[in-house]
Structure 1
């Protein structure tokens, strides 16, 4: 998945430990001690000696590395040069390009979601679209990083995307003008009833501090007292683990926020409240967290922590289900391994891998005229080839629940538009807070 990943940097000692493996060279592999490496070297020799064209060593080694990582899960990858620089730029919170969160699905580039207000969103690119060509050139079968690097470019330049959209008979072209993607990770506004709405669009640096500032600003605008808060994490693909912890800590007085558990002891880490921000910045104001199928990784940490501590009512649709942690393991000055090293768990011990966060109140986005069609095409972590399997056996019917029709919600987009409702999920959250119905949800153990 090409998005700001849930990850942390590895300690320098880890990098030093890996370097001898990368510099020892194929010729030094002892086939008797490691038959698998002997087999790999034998294949390398046959290719070098017999392939129809001369093959560059770098190409073969890179192919072997990419193949090993592709056999693990969709989120592990080898990064070098521009790929590594692009990742660091994304974490920094701005870049020049289209503003898309994409993943690789069976060698095809698939859109998870366009960022809000991005050039891609304005051009009409939708979640679930497949991008097959860039400026008329086929990108099927290329690596995700290669495709993303071609979509990036100076602001003001254009690129033609050929899109296949499930449900349409023919592919079509969309021309997008690249822009400076100032992701503006946090935006806020005050709604009627002195209810603050804070949208967190991605977890880049200082998101925790930005949300704290937004709460304080909203409180001043409300005359000193807020009637409620909506924390909107919809279509937020994730980001820094530290910022997810900081954001959760803002609204919690005490207790665990998240834990991560891996095969190696040093990957078992527990994150508690009150480590970054003391007390509840909202001072107990009723809180609703909005999530949807595009809410992933860091977004799920926040939603899960606030849900388990009964600090917020989680509303919307089941989240993406990315419950794994990627660690950046430096190899050389300009290369690194992005490797899945742990799973994370909510305070009650739930893993969101595959299953995601189930909202306390499921609310469809009725204001979307293509909602029914989009629901059938919606996909999550559990749909990705080679995804990590949850240790708890999940019921497929439960995972597909939100693709059905909920009889409680029958209004059409046209009816909502006539009432001036453009975002039904947000409208429902605001109405819930205005009615004073955002009481503590049922304990996690009672949820089905």
Structure 2
């Protein structure tokens, strides 16, 4: 059995000692109960094997049994074989074929979690919360997730037609796309009016190095004096824990970044920043939305709790759990939820997400008001947070709404604003400026909404 470093890093392997236990009445009762449950399973297995209308092989039955067992846990625990396992490996490496879209199954329907930036799906206008009902006029309802993903795959350059149902629109509509070899560029940066905008769209294996390279390049381009930084984590589904820690560390001088806690109270692992803030203490705004999840939430939570950045946008997805991935064969793996993670102040992000310091709606999206947000708390069998944060000490009574929030998408387009949240963040940083304003950004308090 081999542990592979995918999605989030596995727990350390510990050698086991074979001990002869002292038998007690409670242990004996537990053994009897376990045996009775296993006997039930074997009884059902024998019945299905001997009497099902079609002959069925053991591999299919065992895979179904494993899937059913893990389905009783949480949405992120699963058993991966064949194409599912290959997808896990290639998406973590950041190079795969397809459309660039993350989907799930909800009541038999294929639901979009998020399109990946600069992929066929995002360019075609696919949005989180959309339902894919048909592919090339073939009904998808009732298909498994693996079957749905297989239908989306194909040779780069081949065309695919999807029928989309979008809440808020009266009729379904078709979208035609061309499949591509998806080679993710996880980190992109640019300068806008003296502000450095760093867009991180996933946390695959090389994100920390690319983020540090971007910060070095920004220093060269600005003489080390940008007005500030915008860290865009919107629609970032997360990825590797170690990359989230390293990216956070690049913007912090000291302090805790994140802790992960397992089943036992003593099972706690903490990660800390090392000296060296590559942003030189200049103000930072982090943009988040309902698609900001997992490793991306670790970064946002760390910089928010350490008073190093203002978090702006919408409440994040709320995936505050850690998965250990154990390779069980050449093309199979068990992905099991083994811990929850907590921000430096002890907040559990699980099912609650990161609340922005300044709530900013994406008014430039014409479907913003009608489109549903899909978050962890909406998923069946989601884990509950072990503790809720008491944010009273962080809140203030500023509940006034910015008058700019009254603009419509059409009005913003006439003003040349294609991304309202980014525009709002840019203007905020330009107002903060430099010097003493750095302390204002680092020490900003949350506003209650």
Please say whether Structure 1 and Structure 2 have the same fold, judged by a TM-score greater than 0.5: yes
Residue pairs, 1:262-277, within 5 angstroms: 262-263=262-263, 268-274=268-274
**Alpha-carbon separation, structure 2, partners of 1:32 and 1:425:** 56
**Alpha-carbon separation, structure 2, partners of 1:170 and 1:432:** 39
**Alpha-carbon separation, structure 1, partners of 2:219 and 2:387:** 42
Post-superposition shift, 1:273? Answer: 0.9
> For residue 439 of structure 1, what is the aligned residue in structure 2?
441
1:238-257, Cα deviation, whole Å (9 max, x unpaired): 11111100100001111110
Matched, 1:95 2:96: yes
> What is the RMSD computed on CA atoms of the aligned residues?
2.6
**Alpha-carbon separation, structure 2, partners of 1:11 and 1:379:** 33
C-alpha change, 1:104 and 1:283, in structure 2 (3 Å) is same
> For residue 195 of structure 1, what is the aligned residue in structure 2?
195
Selected match of 1:319 from 316, 319, 339 = 316
> For residue 381 of structure 1, what is the aligned residue in structure 2?
376
1:359-388, Cα deviation, whole Å (9 max, x unpaired): 0010111111222112xx112111111111
**Alpha-carbon separation, structure 1, partners of 2:279 and 2:389:** 35
What's the secondary structure of 1:124's corresponding residue? coil
> For residue 297 of structure 1, what is the aligned residue in structure 2?
294
Post-superposition shift, 1:125? Answer: 1.7
Which of 132-141 and 424-433 deviates more?
Answer: 132-141
**Alpha-carbon separation, structure 2, partners of 1:210 and 1:14:** 36
Matched, 1:426 2:419: no
Post-superposition shift, 1:393? Answer: 6.2
**Alpha-carbon separation, structure 2, partners of 1:119 and 1:107:** 25
Residue pairs, 1:6-85, within 5 angstroms: 6-9=7-10, 11=12, 33-85=34-86
**Alpha-carbon separation, structure 1, partners of 2:81 and 2:317:** 28
Post-superposition shift, 1:81? Answer: 1.9
Which of 262-271 and 173-182 deviates more?
Answer: 262-271
**Alpha-carbon separation, structure 2, partners of 1:368 and 1:295:** 17
**Alpha-carbon separation, structure 1, partners of 2:445 and 2:125:** 41
**Alpha-carbon separation, structure 1, partners of 2:122 and 2:407:** 25
Q: Give the number of aligned pairs.
A: 417
Unmatched runs of 5 consecutive residues or more in structure 2: 19-30, 391-399
**Alpha-carbon separation, structure 2, partners of 1:232 and 1:8:** 24
**Alpha-carbon separation, structure 1, partners of 2:218 and 2:211:** 10
> For residue 125 of structure 1, what is the aligned residue in structure 2?
126
> For residue 174 of structure 2, what is the aligned residue in structure 1?
173
C-alpha change, 1:134 and 1:435, in structure 2 (3 Å) is same
> For residue 215 of structure 2, what is the aligned residue in structure 1?
215
C-alpha change, 1:150 and 1:48, in structure 2 (3 Å) is same
Which of 359-368 and 264-273 deviates more?
Answer: 264-273
**Alpha-carbon separation, structure 1, partners of 2:139 and 2:58:** 26
1:279-333, Cα deviation, whole Å (9 max, x unpaired): 1001101111110111000110000000000000111110000111111022223
Post-superposition shift, 1:411? Answer: 1.4
Matched, 1:152 2:164: no
**Alpha-carbon separation, structure 1, partners of 2:116 and 2:6:** 15
Post-superposition shift, 1:104? Answer: 2.3
> For residue 412 of structure 1, what is the aligned residue in structure 2?
408
> For residue 226 of structure 1, what is the aligned residue in structure 2?
226
**Alpha-carbon separation, structure 2, partners of 1:71 and 1:416:** 46
Matched, 1:288 2:289: no
Counterpart contact for 1:236–1:296, Cα < 8 Å: yes
> For residue 27 of structure 2, what is the aligned residue in structure 1?
none
Matched, 1:110 2:106: no
C-alpha change, 1:148 and 1:14, in structure 2 (3 Å) is farther
Counterpart contact for 2:348–2:388, Cα < 8 Å: no
Which of 237-246 and 124-133 deviates more?
Answer: 124-133
1:376-417, Cα deviation, whole Å (9 max, x unpaired): x1121111111111234699xxxxxxxxx9674111222222
Counterpart contact for 1:10–1:329, Cα < 8 Å: no
Runs of 4+ in 1 over 6 A off after TM superposition: none
> For residue 27 of structure 1, what is the aligned residue in structure 2?
none
Matched, 1:185 2:186: yes
TM-score between both structures, scaled by the size of structure 1? 0.87
**Alpha-carbon separation, structure 2, partners of 1:358 and 1:238:** 17
Counterpart contact for 2:200–2:236, Cα < 8 Å: yes
What's the secondary structure of 2:143's corresponding residue? coil
TM-score between both structures, scaled by the size of structure 2? 0.87
Unmatched runs of 5 consecutive residues or more in structure 1: 18-29, 396-404
